[in-house]
Amino acid sequence: MAGWTKKIKLPADQPAVSIKEQLTDWRIPRRVRGNFRMARRIYLNGQYQPTSTILKPYDVLTLNWLPEDFMTPDSQYVPDDSQSLQVLYENDELMVVNKRKGVKTHPNSPGENGTMMNFAQAYLMKQDKRAYMVHRLDGQTTGALIIAKVPYVVPILNQMLHDKTIKRTYLAWVDGHLTDSTGAITLAIGDHPTNSRLRQIDGANAKPAITHWTKIKSVYQQTLVRLQLETGRTHQIRLHMAAIGHPLVGDDLYNQQSAYADGLLLHSASVQLPMPFSSEIKSIGAPLPASFPVNLK
């Protein structure tokens, strides 16, 4: 594993900022920026320049990453080509795939297969690339899932998630009628005291969590809602909606009274994703699966 090289031609409207400022704006971690500088692994128009050098339009920056720049430089997922991968968007560094219902995002133990990361590994090995996890969706959740193809975009995408510059939109059916048209839930989420599978409002080690919801329509005793996350806590949507008295239909963890045959009705409908090293923003939608009804009966 020799490393990874990224060559970037700066745009015509490139601002007059230093190399250091540009790398910071691209969300390259501080430690990696330091490695670039100390080992002279960053080039401007083919030559090393101090990171205080001011950039100009059409300059070419070349960044060289080495395995020691990453906690996990190599991806160890077992390739599994038993299921095809539905790719919604793809470039050289990342892809967005449509996650299936009932399939885990990632293995929980070495050697495990049958997860989305295993299917992605098999798909990407044909490109001489590897699959790196960026975020996860619960096993019963469907829809748009971001997967990195090179390790150097993982911390960039993670920082975008933290900064809320990646926008994730979900659809869900919940029990009951929501009287308001919109709302926000700001309840901290922590560990459950007795069950490691569950989370709890204000549980142990609670962290802030914010969910915005918009009512789309009500059908009989259920409501279809659109949800956007400001944070990404485990089971956030499921727990937040249950906490305000409107648990998700088919949720076997937080709505045990629900007996919907097709299971949890939660779909990652779209991601709005800024492209690393670019000002371009992609909006990528995931089609509804057959298991997610337009109307409930």
Chain segment 106-139, per-residue pLDDT in tens: 998 888 999 999 999 999 999 999 999 999 999 9
The pLDDT tens digits of the residues spanning 22-65 come to 999 999 999 999 999 999 999 999 999 999 999 999 999 999 99
Class of 87-163 per CATH?
A: alpha beta
SS3 content of the chain, % helix, strand, coil (to 5): 15, 30, 50
**DSSP code of residue 286:** -
Helices (H) and strands (E) in the chain, counts: 5, 17
CATH superfamily of 4-68: RNA-binding S4 domain (3.10.290.10)
Exactly one of 59, 80, 138, 175 is catalytic; which is it? 138
Cβ partners under 8 Å of residue 190, min gap 6: 199, 200, 201, 202, 203, 204, 205, 206, 207
CATH topology of domain 167-268: Pseudouridine synthase (3.30.2350)
How far is the C-alpha of 223 from the C-alpha of 215, rounded, in Å? 7
Q: What is the pLDDT of residues 258-272, one digit of tens each?
A: 666 678 999 999 999
Residue 243 pLDDT greater than 80, yes or no: yes
Note the residue count of the chain: 297
138 is catalytic: yes
- The pLDDT of residue 78 is 96
Taking 80 as the threshold, does the pLDDT of residue 75 lie above it? yes
Asked if the domains at 4-68 and 87-163 fall in one CATH topology, the answer is no
Instruction: Judge whether 61 and 42 are in contact, CB under 8 Å.
Output: yes
Q: Which helix (H) or strand (E) holds 160?
A: helix 154-163
Average pLDDT over the chain reads: 93
Domain boundaries, the chain: 4-68, 87-163, 167-268
Give the pairing of strands 142-148 and 199-201.
unpaired
